[in-house]
Amino acid sequence: MTTSLNWVHTGPSEKATVVFIHAIGLDLTYWDRQIDALRSNFRVVAFDLPGHGGFVAIAMLR
């Protein structure tokens, strides 16, 4: 099985990093307002957990 991680990152790379992880039933867009507010002063990363949002798992057929 292969996976495709859906994630976003923004902000200055030299700044401290803030990572957002959503709860069950949500996706990374839950953090849009926080990302917008923090992107000037922090490097911000958010991603979708398996089975949520744009996360894709593909079974490899043999």
pLDDT per position as a tens digit, 2-13: 667 789 999 999
Range(s) of the domain holding residue 10: 2-58
DSSP string spanning the chain? -EEE--EEEES-TTSPEEEEEPPTT--GGGGHHHHHHHTTTSEEEEEPPTTSTT-EEEPPP-
pLDDT per position as a tens digit, 21-47: 998 888 999 999 999 999 999 999 999
Is the pTM higher than 0.75? The answer reads: yes
How many independent structural domains does the chain possess? Answer: 1
- 51 and 24 in contact (C-beta within 8 Å)? no
The whole-angstrom separation of Cα 46 and Cα 4 is 14
